[in-house]
Structure 1
Amino acid sequence: MSMDLQRFHATFFEESREGLDAMESGLLSMEGGNHDPELINSVFRAAHSIKGGAATFGFDAVAAMTHLLETLLDEIRAGKRPLEATAIDAMLGSVDTLRALLGECETGKPADPAAVEAVKARLNAVLSGAAAPAAGAAKKTEDVPEAWQIAFTPAPSLFMSGNDPLRVLRELEALAPIEVQAKLEKLPPFAQLDPLQACIAWDLGLLGKVPRSAVTDVFSWIEDECELDIQPRALVKAEAAAPAAQAAAPAAADKPALAAVPGTGTPAAHAEAAESIRVSVDKVDALINLVGELVITQAMLKQVSGGLDPTHAERLLAGLEQLERNTRDLQEAVIGVRMLPVDAVFRRFPRLVRDLSTRLGKQVRLRTIGEGTELDKGLIEKIADPLVHLVRNSIDHGLESPEARRAAGKDETGTITLAASHQGGHIVIEVSDDGAGLNRNRILAKAAERGIQVPDNPSDAQVWDLIFAPGFSTAEAVTDLSGRGVGMDVVRRNIQALGGEVQLESASGNGTRVLIRLPLTLAILDGMTISIGEEVLILPLSHVLEALQPKDAEIGTVGVDGRVLRVRGEYLPILSLASHYGYTPREGGEPLIVVVEGDGQKIALEVDELLGQQQVVVKNIERNYRRVAGISGATILGDGRVALIVDIGSLVRSQRMPIAA
């Protein structure tokens, strides 16, 4: 009886990529001096598992590459050859190539055949005892064509990571003359155009004898954010006559609820096979939505039961209280299913730091803290790009060269710290370096040059905040690695879209520290329910500091119509939510003040009444209606009404002086 193995492909690809991540992490640890035999064994087992699965499914190119890799690792772990830098370099190169080969098997997008052969040659050279061909030697022997044909399709999110397709075109033009043809098929009508999304693809002709490595270097920092096909122009013309069906490959099936595949598990998967299962993310999301509806139903029952006579409905009320406790426990358990350790993001940075520091001639030490801190999977996927941008900036512009550090009396090796921790219902991620720090005078000079409004005698925090102005940069020259500040507005915007905040601290000569504060989950939050006239709003409880009834003597005026509240010697701007949202306030009665904090700044919100605290299910208002300024989402109350959730960060920023002209 024949078996259809194609249904196991998705499992193989997912587990193989996990195995490659484990291999890369292990090889970097070995390069750092960790020669623990178990570490070497774990890298070997990962390669062996990928090889076995690839052979089973008929992915011969993957099997052949992992066979060489497995042979080299087997000799190292058996003590037949020393663990040398050339071997580690060759094995790290094979990890990159295996990722490309897996992509070819999964989507049909061909891997670079020259790169595959070059990696095989390096592995064979190490196995035979010959010197592995260096990068420079490879360039000399490379058969360079007369021209290249490049199909470049940026991902829609390319701008959000601080990158720009036009920079890519300029860098290609610096290598040789180029032909440029824009592909506008995906460009929407002007009224629907989103300036933050990349919609244009490009067909490019690079007219010159340029090594492939120089071409791929141009795309090295966006290779995960685009579809890219680089072919010699003569080869492209020859292939044009081939039937399209020969080039097409079936796309991978949607990820199912994954079953185990014999022989393809990673070391971690083998260790935890008896304790874990793979479940489609869509199924988990559906479960969370159902629990959210249960929370709404429970709140509805609680509200209805408030009018019952306790003496006649004692058992019913007791049951409703038990239902409330069980609902909260169930909700926390289900949300926990979506929680992943931030190590899922952190583990990509050792390789990034290694490659970038080598390229820039800097010595960099990466320190990670709190890798086990858990965060919602949806947040983890979206926080990666901002963190990559911050780490690149720290290496390129934050840390000094070894000579400059030595002259300043510092260790020649700079340190970048990635830390994660739970603080007051939030997760806080820190990216810091011990470099030169931000230059206050240069930032102020750049602000004056651009006509940006700056308060008199600004504090350091106000000066650092200028960096988040769109396009702000103090870099003397633009490189493919954005100067500190270029793209920082995008970083802040991405974090704010997740309901988070960004703070920046710096001290001259002592480095820079960026703090990102995020909610633990986007699904459910604890809120304070308030009313303004006939409307009900939700304030996220994590932002609320206190509520009070102010006295007339504690309220002062600023300017024409501005008001401030004095709270224990501190003056806070007062914002009337009725005026801000255009509601009609309740007549009569004394207004209340709720002090909230966002983006490191406090403001006083004027409301009509405090209704209480409750857990609410967050619904995406932008997806179901449209984006509303000052509103982060909506929820359904126990009586069936819709209540809007206030975006505290947006309100705080509306009270600041504009920082961009």
Structure 2
Amino acid sequence: MSIDLSQFHQVFFEESFEGLEEMESCLMELDPSAVDGEVINSIFRAAHSIKGGSATFGFDVVADFTHVLETLLDEIRAETRGISQDDVDLFLRAVDCLRELLSQLQQGEQPDTEVAQELKAAFEKILREGGDTTTAVATEPEPDAGETGTQSWKIYFRPGTDTLRTGNEPARMLRELAALGQAQVTVAAEEVPGLGALEPESCYLGWHISLTGSIEKAQIEEVFEWVVDESEIRIEAQAAPASATWSIAYRPGTDVLRTGNEPARMFRELAALGDLTVSADTDGLPQFSQLDPESSYLGWQLTLTTEADKSSIDEIFEWVIDESDLTIETGAEPVSAASTTVAPESEPAAAPAAPAPVPTSTPTAAKPAKSPPQAKPSGGDGAKKAVETSSIRVGIDKIDNLINMVGELVITQSMLGQLGTDFDLDRLPNLLEGLSQLEHNTRELQESVMRIRMLPISFAFSRFPRMVRDLSRRLNKKMEIELKGEQTELDKTVMEKIGDPLVHLVRNAVDHGIEPPEKRLAAGKQEEGKITLNAYHQGGNVVIEIIDDGRGLDRDSILAKAVEKELVTERDAGQLSDEQVYDLIFHPGFSTAKEVSDVSGRGVGMDVVKRNILALNGSVEITSTAGQGSKITIRLPLTLAILDGQLVRVGSHTYIFPLVSIIESLQCDSSLVNQVAGGCDVFQLRNEYVPIIRLFDVFSIEPDSRNLGESLMVVVECDGEKVGVVIDDLMAQQQVVIKSLEQNYQKVEGISGATILGDGTVALILDIPGIVKIAGVRHLTDNQVTSLARSHSNSELMALSASA
């Protein structure tokens, strides 16, 4: 049976990346001075799975590389060699290398093997330097192959029923065996059911293989090593003694199937002893109408040629000897090949078919006519589709809850449908109740679906222990990392987009926050610094905190650099709050680092961090205490699919402001509006001046009125500054489902998406930074603010004089 293995690629890559995460996590907790066997076993199993899967799909570069890893791990877990810290570092580099190779293969690219070859050579050098390289499973002494080095092996291989579903194609293994030497393959088809019971993706066949060549048992075991747990495999060396032929007459008791003693199992065990020929005796078979499917009616004539003695045959039948007719004689002639060998469909499990010789190159029963697909670089749609494919693992409880909600909706639909066909005013309360139930069920269904996309934030946090360890060693610092709230759930899309900002913030904490050991000791701190990542839910948001117990932010240094870069004036610098000072580090190119390292210090990144967080409708703030450490707090929405929005009207059009960006809404007062150089109107909001954007000008639509005194203003935050957006009317606040314009139409500047309102109309969701960019609004300079303040004071004096 030949199947297209490419359909399993995505599953393989997902499981392989999970295996690498497991390997990395175990290596991080591994103590070379006191090796934990279970930890080594976990690392070995992960490497073993990746090797087997990659070999199946033809990713030979991964399979070959992982094989060397696995061999070394096998020796370590067998306690034939130890492991050093340098070995752990090398294994971690191997994990990184495998991750890169798999990523390239997943993208459909040709993998870059330079690093893999370098690491492989390093592992092979370690293996050559010492330790017993005997494979752990090869525990039996192998017979002397003689002067020629040729050895004959008898192999029985029956894969598990689900082998094909996992992508482990037996045909590949048969080809690998044939490549080792001269092979003769015979199919064992005794478990093939009737046509009506056949499952096309299940494996029912087994194989007897005679293999001759200069072959060690370990080479054969290696072919089967990644299916050994789910298959029946026997590998025996063929010894020199002459074979004997046994004639066996076996008629099991009628109830043998009910006791679980299937004849097929015994025939497999006999076949493992030698060459077996089977014919069925159907004399006891009743009429079809009298057949009992749980009863056994057949007898069997078997001819076995084997080097085993009679006691080995007796042992196979020992469980049924009291309830069966059994005769075992030696010296008989083999049964004719023309004998009846196929059992009736009514008893498939107890009806082995006669083995048929199969050519080595193409085992007919398995039909491996095509080799497994090879990894080929491709820039076509197929490769692109593989990249875009994404999946998520969902707990069965969430699926059950979703199914229950759909069931409730069906019930409500049925109730409303009944009302629709037979309705009068007397049944109006029933209709209202049905609509209320529909609203309740829809809300619960929405929440259930949203929870399906939720993943624990441990998926984002898991990379940081390794990163902190590597950075601390590179910077000659001592530190630990503590992860809290790892089970806090966050939307998968949000988690993917927050990963890079978190990496940058943690790297900054390691490089700039935590002091060198000598400075910590001099400051009365513990030599080892500490970084804490904490996550928790707060309202409808997820809060992520990055905390370090390092030196804290230097307010004076930040202000000095800000004055130098002309971000603030010396006069205003002393009036800024701590929050405003710390917010300066998010300006592009801002850095107080005296030395630039390969870790950080170039002033590139913090502005990108904030921009990415704002793009997720989130916020970021910094608190710090000099000499004690800093805390960066990120607030993010649980999901990007639902938005809390404020509906507004401009003319006949409806727009939606993200509620998180709104500071306040108010009635415009024309007397508080001034104009600065460049033609920008500003509004005096208490003690500050806010630039004004007329939304009807941005989108070229006709408003109810162009007079600001008759309009409303929504004050929003954009990049830490306030901006006033003029509208005609405020409408309701509500949760809206975000639909992408870019995917369905094209990217529109100033618009982040759209939604469909309850009346069926489409409302556009505003992108505040985009609106500000279109309007050309810039932050007011200090001179402009001073001029406005002086103008306002003069106006007040004139008003007082006039009143006097």
Provide the TM-score with structure 1 as the length reference. Answer: 0.64
CA contact (8 A) 2:68 2:124 kept: no
* C-alpha distance 546-473 of structure 1, shift in aligned 2 (>3 A): closer
Deviations 1:495-544 (A, max 9, x none): 22222222222222222222222221111223232334433232334556
User: 1:628 aligned to 749, 752, 759, which one?
Assistant: 749
| Partner in structure 2 of residue 162 of structure 1 | none
* Deviation (angstroms), 1:401: 0.9
Instruction: Tell me which amino acid in the other structure corresponds to 1:19.
Output: G
Whether 2:122 is the aligned partner of 1:116: answer no
Cα-Cα RMSD: 4.7
- The equivalences for 1:607-626 within 5 A come to 608-621=728-741, 624-626=745-747
Select the structure with the greater relative contact order (CA < 8 A; seq sep ≥ 6): 1
| Partner in structure 1 of residue 98 of structure 2 | 98
* Deviation (angstroms), 1:619: 2.5
Instruction: Tell me which amino acid in the other structure corresponds to 1:120.
Output: F
* C-alpha distance 258-427 of structure 1, shift in aligned 2 (>3 A): closer
CA contact (8 A) 1:565 1:574 kept: no
* C-alpha distance 658-537 of structure 1, shift in aligned 2 (>3 A): farther
| Partner in structure 1 of residue 340 of structure 2 | none
CA contact (8 A) 1:470 1:488 kept: yes
CA contact (8 A) 1:532 1:577 kept: no
- The equivalences for 1:363-402 within 5 A come to 363-402=478-517
| Partner in structure 2 of residue 241 of structure 1 | none
Instruction: Tell me which amino acid in the other structure corresponds to 2:538.
Output: Q
CA contact (8 A) 1:438 1:508 kept: yes
* C-alpha distance 36-610 of structure 1, shift in aligned 2 (>3 A): farther
User: 1:642 aligned to 762, 767, 791, which one?
Assistant: 762
How far apart are the structure 2 equivalents of 1:650 and 1:309? 52
* C-alpha distance 354-122 of structure 1, shift in aligned 2 (>3 A): farther
How far apart are the structure 2 equivalents of 1:259 and 1:518? 22
| Partner in structure 1 of residue 636 of structure 2 | 518
| Partner in structure 2 of residue 192 of structure 1 | none
Instruction: Tell me which amino acid in the other structure corresponds to 1:530.
Output: V
* Deviation (angstroms), 1:565: 5.5
Deviations 1:306-334 (A, max 9, x none): xx998785544443333322222222222
- The equivalences for 1:8-47 within 5 A come to 8-31=8-31, 38-47=38-47
How far apart are the structure 1 equivalents of 2:50 and 2:545? 35
How far apart are the structure 2 equivalents of 1:274 and 1:258? 22
Deviates more, 1:322-331 or 1:516-525: 322-331
How far apart are the structure 2 equivalents of 1:52 and 1:436? 49
* C-alpha distance 109-632 of structure 1, shift in aligned 2 (>3 A): same
* C-alpha distance 320-35 of structure 1, shift in aligned 2 (>3 A): farther
* Deviation (angstroms), 1:603: 8.0
Whether 2:463 is the aligned partner of 1:330: answer no
* Deviation (angstroms), 1:548: 7.7
Which structure: larger Rg? 2
* Deviation (angstroms), 1:389: 1.3
* Deviation (angstroms), 1:615: 2.5
Provide the TM-score with structure 2 as the length reference. Answer: 0.54
Deviates more, 1:607-616 or 1:505-514: 607-616
Instruction: Tell me which amino acid in the other structure corresponds to 1:467.
Output: I
| Partner in structure 2 of residue 353 of structure 1 | 468
Whether 2:580 is the aligned partner of 1:462: answer yes
* Deviation (angstroms), 1:128: 2.3
- The equivalences for 1:290-439 within 5 A come to 313-439=428-554
| Partner in structure 2 of residue 128 of structure 1 | 131
CA contact (8 A) 2:75 2:131 kept: no
* Deviation (angstroms), 1:78: 5.8
CA contact (8 A) 2:44 2:73 kept: yes
Whether 2:646 is the aligned partner of 1:528: answer yes
Deviations 1:242-276 (A, max 9, x none): xxxx996467854499999xxxxxxx99xx99889
Instruction: Tell me which amino acid in the other structure corresponds to 2:619.
Output: E
- The equivalences for 1:231-270 within 5 A come to 249=377, 254-255=385-386
How far apart are the structure 2 equivalents of 1:417 and 1:658? 39
- Structure 2: 5+ residue stretches without partners: 134-373, 783-804
* Deviation (angstroms), 1:65: 4.1
* Deviation (angstroms), 1:81: 5.6
CA contact (8 A) 1:501 1:598 kept: no
* C-alpha distance 60-605 of structure 1, shift in aligned 2 (>3 A): closer
- Structure 1: 5+ residue stretches without partners: 131-245, 261-267, 278-283, 285-290
* Deviation (angstroms), 1:100: 4.2
How far apart are the structure 1 equivalents of 2:567 and 2:388? 53
How far apart are the structure 2 equivalents of 1:324 and 1:333? 14
CA contact (8 A) 1:97 1:115 kept: no
How far apart are the structure 2 equivalents of 1:526 and 1:428? 17
How far apart are the structure 2 equivalents of 1:648 and 1:595? 11
| Partner in structure 1 of residue 368 of structure 2 | none
| Partner in structure 2 of residue 488 of structure 1 | 606
Deviates more, 1:106-115 or 1:28-37: 28-37
User: 1:509 aligned to 614, 627, 639, which one?
Assistant: 627
Whether 2:475 is the aligned partner of 1:475: answer no
CA contact (8 A) 1:339 1:374 kept: yes
CA contact (8 A) 2:455 2:491 kept: yes
